[in-house]
Structure 1
Amino acid sequence: MKSLKQLKIMLAALLMVIFLAACGSDSATEDSATEPTTDSEHTEVVAPADEEEEGSEFPITITDAVGQEVTLEAEPERIVSLIPSVTETIFALDAGDAVVGRTDNDTYPEEVTEIESVGEMNFDVERVIALTPDLVLTHSSHAERYGEGLEQLRNAGIPVIVVEEADSIETVYETIEMIGLATGASEEAEVVVTDMQEKFAEVQEKASTIPEEDKALVWVEVAPAPDIYTTGQNTFFHEMLTIINAENAAGEHEGWPKFTEEQAVAYNPDVILITYGFYVDNAIEGIKERAAWQDVPAVVNDRIYDLNADEVVRPGPRLAEGVEQIAKAVYPEVFGE
């Protein structure tokens, strides 16, 4: 059991490194960030002239997030997804039957575990090729780290489309729409995006009734001590805190900055949200036991909440559920069932 637990912690630590890289935390400095970008800055779509007559989106040429022009002659029937949020999106678009490969990190929906894995984030190129995919999907942060493997796939004649890493909710929408185009599910993508927009608007409207004096100061931890990472401006997590009418304690920082316990405790937050309880045992108790945190309102009032990480840190359709989860934790009197 001990070795299994150690393996779980090591795997979670690796996922955290990849997650932070994807969110712009390459630097160890407190204010590390990346310039926000959107798919609209990178993506061009060229549809056939007779598309309306044929009633088909294919063939289609897409200029992806890394400037590659990718032509898909027909709707993909064998897709390999190298990013969990991309996989979730494909299934949300009712295109999951076409997925023949995924990574070890894919956990949702449950049926993805029955699909053959091509390894971890550093995927096995030969295993991908052996699946004979007609489309491989990933995002730009992954492409930066594992570009050599992706180039091998391109050289093998496999279309690879890189979507933009999502640093904002708007970019999440654009990514969903791009995946919809690539998989022949544009109409489904429009429905998913509209549903998300409506859910966000509903939460925001409800949160607008919260008086200014009751506005909560929230501290978020996406990685535990000693290297505590939180969320700052130009992230979709920061946007979700804004939507629920809460104040982000680290809101003056950019991206996903790193803090020490001593730096973080100075914010004296009303509420603490963590996302690492799935791999750190007794995570909430660990925060309560921090010596310097004993007088922090969130600790005194027992207002530390362990969120479902996948709903709040994976930039996909479930972010709409994530914002509701955050709202219920921060303002249970307003959003509680």
Structure 2
Amino acid sequence: MKEMTGLVNTKNKNKLPGDGVVGKTCNNVCNNKTFIYTRKSALTLLKTAGILLLVLVLLAAFTACVSRSNQEVGDTGTGTGTESSSGTGRETGGDQGDVQGAGSKDAGEFPLTVTDANGVEVKIEKKPQKIVSLTLSTDEMLLSLVDKGRIAAVSYLSVDPGQSNVAEEVKDLQKTGLEVESLIAMQPDLIIVADWSDQNAIKQLRDAKITVYALKTPSSINQVKDAVMTVAQLVGEKGKGQEIIQWMDGKLKAVEEKVKTLEDNQKLRVLSYNNFFCTHGIGTTFDDITKHAGVINLAAEQGMVMWQEISKEKIVELNPDAIFLPAWSYEGFDAEEFAGSLKNDKSLAGINAIKNNRVFCLPEAHLGTTSQNIVLGVEDMARAVYPGLFE
């Protein structure tokens, strides 16, 4: 994958996998797994005598100099100045919380004082060398940001090729969950958890003097970029974070250059549908993916928010041009069987998606991720519905 060499860690050759996976119909892919100058106000004591007026003038100048020096010190960000934790140059108050640089505005320098997604202030004393990731998305981010030797453990989900883009890369890494005793025993210098993780367990870890940062779960591609840059700051690899963003932007631009040629009446109207009989509406990563892929998400168009149950009657009414189904099979659920039952459902036989064989199961590791690999989901979707644009 030559285009990704800029993101490969030269020590362990880690990279962002997934290039070249093309969306296919459910006929044959549903089981595809896929971080003053203390200008000492260099004031020289004036040892000179003069008339009282001159002394008063000098004192006034002295006072002004001190005031100006203090203002410059405040502007360096060492005390009250804050910057975006995403490291993307946005103003304070971004999705991932606030970051205060200790000694420099360069977030790659330590110590760092950061406010996580749950509003908790976290201090990272030095560049982390023993990192634990408890979410699949941060597993994937870290493997493109740091040498594997700095990763103490990753999440259990990382080994499942049906969901993970790093299943091969993590084979030799320890796997863990939010297990307080074992995590304390590891003595990591940074644990990254999701913002929805068990707060009681997180408190126990912090009480044991373990540094824990709760990362906001992204609901859009821009928020994924923020998350990447936040993690890059936390681990002192802001430059590598920027490389990942550039790669993401390159992938998005390549797709958008192709689909921008479509007139509005040429854009396919699509729907997602899962084994819980739900569809993805406004506020989901699926909806954001559809925007970049040049299709219209019917659920969002109908004003549906987040995940909502949808009846077969409603599907018939909406008459989607394409339907996206789960590709990940697990105990108790067979994705291929689910797709087969939907395609053979007589009540749905008249909809465009069925008639035109546009029922797709795209790699869950791309379409369902909240890591940088989400852009591969955009590419998969666009390739699936507009194959002619990619010939």
TM over 0.5: yes
Q: 1:113 aligns with which of 158, 162, 171?
A: 171
Which of 111, 131, 134 pairs up with 1:59?
111
Matched, 1:70 2:125: no
Structure 2 matches for 1:273-312, cutoff 5 A? Answer: 273-279=324-330, 280=334, 281-312=336-367
Q: d(CA) in 2 for partners of 1:96 and 1:258?
A: 41
Matches for 1:123-162 after TM superposition, within 5 Å: 123-141=178-196, 143=197, 146-162=198-214
Deviations 1:2-27, CA, capped at 9 Å, x for gaps: xxxxxxxxxxxxxxxxxxxxxxxxxx
Deviation at residue 76 of structure 1 after TM alignment = 0.8
Aligned ranges for residues 1-337 of structure 1 at < 5 Å? 40-41=94-95, 43-49=97-103, 57-107=109-159, 108-109=165-166, 110-119=168-177, 123-141=178-196, 143=197, 146-221=198-273, 223-224=274-275, 227-251=276-300, 252-279=303-330, 280=334, 281-335=336-390, 337=391
> How far 1:56 moved relative to its partner?
5.5
Q: Deviations over 1:241-294 (max 9, x none)?
A: 112221111112111222233333321111111224433243321211223111
The Cα of 1:115 is off from its aligned counterpart by 1.7
**CA distance in structure 2 between the aligned counterparts of 1:81 and 1:41, rounded to whole angstroms:** 20
TM-score by length of 2: 0.70
Larger radius of gyration: 2
Cα distance change of structure 1 residues 283 and 151 upon mapping to structure 2, 3 Å threshold: same
The structure-2 alpha-carbon separation of the partners of 1:42 and 1:216, relative to structure 1 and needing over 3 Å to count, comes to closer
In the TM superposition, residue 100 of structure 1 has moved relative to its aligned partner by 1.3
The percentage of aligned residue pairs carrying the same residue is: 27
Q: Partners of 2:108 and 2:143 in 1: how far apart?
A: 21
Q: 2-side partners of 1:303 and 1:182: how far apart?
A: 43
User: Contact 2:286 / 2:367 at 8 angstroms: preserved in 1?
Assistant: yes
Say whether the 8 Å CA contact 2:139–2:155 is kept in structure 1. no
**Maintained 8 Å contact 1:135/1:160:** yes
Gaps of 5+ in 1: 1-37
- The offset of 1:211, in angstroms, is 2.5
Q: Distance in 2 between matches of 1:277 and 1:288?
A: 17
Specify the alignment match of 2:9 in structure 1: none
C-alpha root-mean-square deviation of aligned residues, in Å?
Answer: 2.0
CA distance in 2, matches of 1:261, 1:317: 34
Q: What is the distance in 2 between the residues matched to 1:42 and 1:324? A: 26
User: How far apart, CA to CA, are the structure 1 residues paired with 2:203 and 2:93?
Assistant: 21
Q: TM-score normalized by structure 1?
A: 0.80
CA change 1:111–1:282 in 2 (3 A) is same
Assess if the C-alpha contact under 8 Å between 2:95 and 2:226 holds in 1: no
Residues 330 and 50 from structure 1, CA distance in 2 versus in 1: closer, same or farther, beyond 3 angstroms?
closer
Query: Matched residue of 2:99: which SS?
Result: strand
Count of matched residue pairs: 288
The one-letter code matched in structure 2 to 1:94 is V
SS in 1 for 2:350: coil
CA deviation after TM superposition for structure 1 residue 155, in Å: 0.8
Is the partner of 2:319 in helix, strand or coil? coil
